[in-house]
């Protein structure tokens, strides 16, 4: 039977500390829950830094830019720099720029909020749609006149990037539909061309998102009208999909064998780590209970009650002869 190593003694945590140089953290359910910091989270993060560890925060949140997320870290008094935050909107922008080599003269049509826009701006990709006033108003009932005809859409658009959008509306859906279905839309996106090729990118596939202690429709639900009407499937950037971890790896030049992913969700975090071939630590401060591993058949490398427990390493052995030989999951 598969199982995970449950951490409990100071020695367990000391060995963990020794074994990994890079610590990747999911945020919601790990660092914070909604607008409240996890007890002891700030101290645990500081503790890792004090021991020379690299810390990176990896969140599917695409509504906020890294700058806006940094403000949240500050408000919850958890030390973090913008450079340590990888959101799915940031990863989407990097993916477009670095992996898809999106031409500088083409434009992205945004079905999303400030988070996506700010990250596209940061990598100098031109954009339209999004929070633009002309795309955030209701159309008159049964009136398609503003959408029909070639002049209604921008010929230079070469990608539709969808993220969470509290201002989603039919006009934006129609424009995105046209970009994704026009002649040649499935073809290559080339510099110096107009029309034709159009990438379809989704920041993250979360069907629901938590806020104010309840769940609400998420980006993975809001994109479905486009999937249904265009019969196209987007490239999904966020956890548990590979582009997010590929982005993290490329940005920080990390050694996967010395990296651990800390998360609270078996599917978006633990499977994500396993697919990306990095070890994982499940914490029980979020959506998963210990017995869920058995039920779901998904086993993290390690399990701990909370990230706050990491500081217990201070009481463990200060020198580990061979950290990798004594502590690993029986996967």
Within 10 angstroms of residue 260's Cβ, the number of other Cβ atoms is 22
28 is in an annotated binding site: yes
Q: Smaller CB distance to its own copies: residue 83 or 144?
A: 144
26 is in an annotated binding site: yes
> Can you point out the beta strands (E) in the chain?
5-6, 22-25, 32-33, 36-37, 54-59, 85-87, 107-111, 126-129, 157-162, 199-202, 208-211, 214-217, 235-236, 259-263, 279-283, 302-304
12 is catalytic: no
CB of 110 to its own copies, least distance (A): 14
CB of 13 to its own copies, least distance (A): 36
Q: Which residues pair with 236 in a beta bridge?
A: 202
255 is in an annotated binding site: no
CB of 107 to its own copies, least distance (A): 21
Q: Where are the alpha helices (DSSP H) in 196-312?
A: 219-222, 224-230, 242-252, 272-275, 292-296
Q: Smaller CB distance to its own copies: residue 79 or 148?
A: 148
Which residues contact its own copies by CB under 8 A? 63-64, 113-114, 136, 138-145, 147-148, 165-170, 173-174, 177-178, 181, 207-208, 211-218, 220-222, 224-229
Which secondary-structure segment (H or E) carries 254? none
Q: Catalytic: which of 12, 26, 206, 269?
A: 26
Q: How far apart are CA 207 and CA 236, in angstroms?
A: 13
Q: How far apart are CA 253 and CA 239, in angstroms?
A: 19
Which secondary-structure segment (H or E) carries 66? helix 66-75
**Which residues have C-beta within 8 Å of that of residue 11, sequence separation ≥ 6?**
316, 317
Q: Smaller CB distance to its own copies: residue 218 or 240?
A: 218
- DSSP letter assigned to residue 35: T
264 is in an annotated binding site: yes
Q: Smaller CB distance to its own copies: residue 170 or 187?
A: 170
CB of 70 to its own copies, least distance (A): 15
CB of 87 to its own copies, least distance (A): 14
Residue 240 preceded by cis peptide, ω within 30: yes
Closest CA to 24 of 244, 290, 236, 206: 244
Q: Smaller CB distance to its own copies: residue 173 or 235?
A: 173
CB of 114 to its own copies, least distance (A): 7
Query: Which residue is listed with tokens 């490329």?
Result: 250
Q: Smaller CB distance to its own copies: residue 149 or 297?
A: 149
Q: Catalytic: which of 28, 165, 269, 279?
A: 28
Closest CA to 294 of 266, 264, 262, 274: 266
Binding-site annotation: residue ranges for Mg(2+) = 26, 28, 264
Catalytic residues: 26, 28
Binding-site annotation: residue ranges = 26, 28, 239, 264
Binding-site annotation: residue ranges for substrate = 239
């Amino acid at each position: 039977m598969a199982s995970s190593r449950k951490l409990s003694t100071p020695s367990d945590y000391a060995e963990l500390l020794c074994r990994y140089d890079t610590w990747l953290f999911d945020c919601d359910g790990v660092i914070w829950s909604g607008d409240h910091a996890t007890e002891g989270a700030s101290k645990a993060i500081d503790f890792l830094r004090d021991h020379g560890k690299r810390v990176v925060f990896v969140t599917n949140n695409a509504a906020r830019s890294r700058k806006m997320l940094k403000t949240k870290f500050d408000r919850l008094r958890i030390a973090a720099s913008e450079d340590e935050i990888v959101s799915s909107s940031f990863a989407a922008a990097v993916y477009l720029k670095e992996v898809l080599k999106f031409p500088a003269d083409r434009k992205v049509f945004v079905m999303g909020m400030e988070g996506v826009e700010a990250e596209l701006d940061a990598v100098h990709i031109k954009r339209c749609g999004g929070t633009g006033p002309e795309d955030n108003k209701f159309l008159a009932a049964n009136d398609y006149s503003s959408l029909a005809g070639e002049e209604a859409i921008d010929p230079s658009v070469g990608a539709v990037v969808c993220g969470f959008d509290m201002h989603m509306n039919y006009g934006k859906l129609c424009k995105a539909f046209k970009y994704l279905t026009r002649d040649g839309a499935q073809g290559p996106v080339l510099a110096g061309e107009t029309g034709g090729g159009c990438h379809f990118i989704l920041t993250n596939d979360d069907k629901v998102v938590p806020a104010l202690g309840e769940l609400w429709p998420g980006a993975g639900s809001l994109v479905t009208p486009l999937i249904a009407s265009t019969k196209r499937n987007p490239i999904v950037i966020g956890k548990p999909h590979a582009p997010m971890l590929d982005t993290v790896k490329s940005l920080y030049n990390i050694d996967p064998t010395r990296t651990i992913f800390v998360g609270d969700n078996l599917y978006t975090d633990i499977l994500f780590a396993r697919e990306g071939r990095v070890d994982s630590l499940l914490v029980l401060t979020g959506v998963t209970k210990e017995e869920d591993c058995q039920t779901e058949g998904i086993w993290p490398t390690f399990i701990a009650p909370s990230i706050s427990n990491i500081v217990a390493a201070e009481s463990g052995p200060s020198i580990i002869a061979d950290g990798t030989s004594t502590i690993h999951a029986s996967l």
